[in-house]
Amino acid sequence: AAKNQRINDSIPKEWRIDTSSLPDNVMDIPATSGILSKTELDITNSSATDLVAELAAGKLKAVDVTTAFCKRAAISHQVTNCALEFFPEMALKQAKELDDFYEKNGRTVGPLHGLPISLKDQLRIKGLETTMGYVAWIDKYDTEDSVLTAMLRKAGAVFYVKTSVPQSLMVCETVNNITGRSVNPRNKHLSPGGSSGGEGANVGIRGGIIGVGTDIGGSIRVPSAFNFLYGLRPSHGRLPYGKMANSMEGQETVHSVVGPITHSVPDMRLFVQSVLEQEPWKHDSKVIPMPWRQSEHDAAVKKITSDKLTLGFFNNDDVVMPHPPILRGVDKVVSTLRENGHEVIDWKPYRHDYAVDLIQGIYASDAGKDIHTVLSASGEPAIPNINDLVDPSISGADITKLWDVQLQKWKFQMEYIEEWNKLEEKLGKEMDAFIMPITPTAAIRHNQFKYYGYASAINLLDFTSVVVPVTFADKNLDKKNESFKPMNDMDKQVQEECKFSGCPRSRTATDKITDDAEAYHGAPVAVQIVGRRLTEEKTMAIAEEIGKLLGNAITP
């Protein structure tokens, strides 16, 4: 209660809105609330690349940009419950220091000078709490910044909000026992995803323009997909993760990675370049000494414009069949690429069922001891979703089993690469990346997220992945395949949530969302573009091209 009161008290009275009768879709509230001026709305509706250019040219002041985003984030939290820390006074002090530096020196401190960036409540900021959704971690204040926080600060970024996560991070919804549930700004009955769901909701309603998330099983990509945003899951070792809070620290079989959630690929690229410019490998020993490779980006752009791309695709991983909006979204991407001269070929997912089983065992390798030890420190109950991934009834792995699992992972990674190589040999040319779903559903109703495999298989492979927003679920276009037979029990569970028929039953205005196509009408649909390991420059360029062809190069 005290933690919630601190968050509420951090919102100035003049930034508060009446939340007693909010509509399901709150996307328009920042513009209609009267809290932001026209200039502030223009600022928060801009791209990050445009804002840093105007800040560098002296056309905007950091204080003004920060004030605009603080106001919008305050609204965002009130309508989506997306914040675990909100600190506008600290942000405005930092922005004033940046303005003073610019006035004195006639230049910026770095490439992100004056740009507000929101952080998942996993990155540490000196002097603030990092609860990560655990009650036991309330009132524990950080004594130093995470490595990435320090680098973003050095580049000139301004911090103003830390966003909500599910208890422990190990869930693709966002609910905890501190602040409760975060909701999707496009429909409060839908999830914003997880575990970076607070980031997804905040950036989705433009309370943020670049948000920082992490991903061990889809936690950047799912919130990006569910909020019609771009998201980068880089390969392990490309961006610094040092000194961040985490669950199951020391689990090294599948690494969590950090990356941006944005409205466009250019903003994503700005973030990655700004971090790599500071040589993070000198501060985090797990980071590979690999600067931004402009030649890789340029080669990809040249191929896009002249030689054309060769991309694989699949819409079904042979474990769970996606719902009709996802199938339509994949079809739309494939047909759009082909219409524009790119070659798109069938890519059969190699043993994804095996990959899903293997990574599920890795997540549960300590039988939930780490998470449940933290829960027992305060006595708080586990959120219901936790045991779906981290079941305390399963015996933990001993060192011999751990070593064996690590060898299985390595062998699978090499087998997958060889399948890719064989296809290229058959084609006589390179397959630049492949297209696949990120989830089997559009943005989903609360407590209904069941299957992580479309995301987690890519974590096991450690491939680079970029989420591209595609379209929205449509009750008139998306028809359920009534003759489909589930492939397994998980598929059966996922298909039971498939409500699309094209003929939703009528309902009165007082009815709650019902189990029909109306429940998902307008839910965001996305795909992920998957490249080989450590191909961030190339994969981002391909994702940017796909976004342009779809008309979603900058998301609304």
Q: Known catalytic residues? A: 120, 195, 219
Q: How far apart are the first and last CA of the chain?
A: 35
The CA distance from 435 to 344, in Å, is 9
Residue 150's SS3 state is helix
Q: What values do phi and psi take at 370, rounded to 5?
A: -60, -50
99 is written with which tokens? Answer: 């303005």
Other CB atoms within 10 Å distance of the CB of residue 423: 18
Residues 6+ apart with CB under 8 A from 318: 349, 352, 353, 487
Residue burial 254-284, b: 16+ Cβ < 10 Å; e: rest: bebbbbbbbbbbbbbbbbbbbbbebebbeeb
- E strands, 263-305, are none
| Side-chain half-sphere CA neighbours of 157 within 13 A | 26
The CA distance from 535 to 533, in Å, is 6
Q: What values do phi and psi take at 296, rounded to 5?
A: -70, -40
Nearest alpha carbon to residue 132 among 146, 119, 120, 149: 120
Q: Which helix (H) or strand (E) holds 222?
A: helix 221-226
The CA distance from 466 to 46, in Å, is 22
The CA distance from 132 to 219, in Å, is 14
Quick check: 344 and 432 in contact, CB under 8 A?
no
Q: What values do phi and psi take at 90, rounded to 5?
A: -65, -40
Q: Which helix (H) or strand (E) holds 162?
A: strand 158-163
Please state, in angstroms and as integers, the Cα–Cα distance from residue 509 to each residue in 183, 512, 521, following that order: 21, 8, 16
Strand order in the sheet with 158-163: 83-86, 158-163, 116-120, 210-215, 257-262, 230-233, 464-472, 524-531, 433-437, 310-313, 343-346
Question: What does the DSSP 8-state code read for residue 217?
Answer: S
Quick check: 309 and 432 in contact, CB under 8 A?
yes
Question: What does the DSSP 8-state code read for residue 445?
Answer: B
The CA distance from 515 to 193, in Å, is 20
Residues 6+ apart with CB under 8 A from 287: 237, 238, 239, 240, 280, 281
Other CB atoms within 10 Å distance of the CB of residue 473: 26
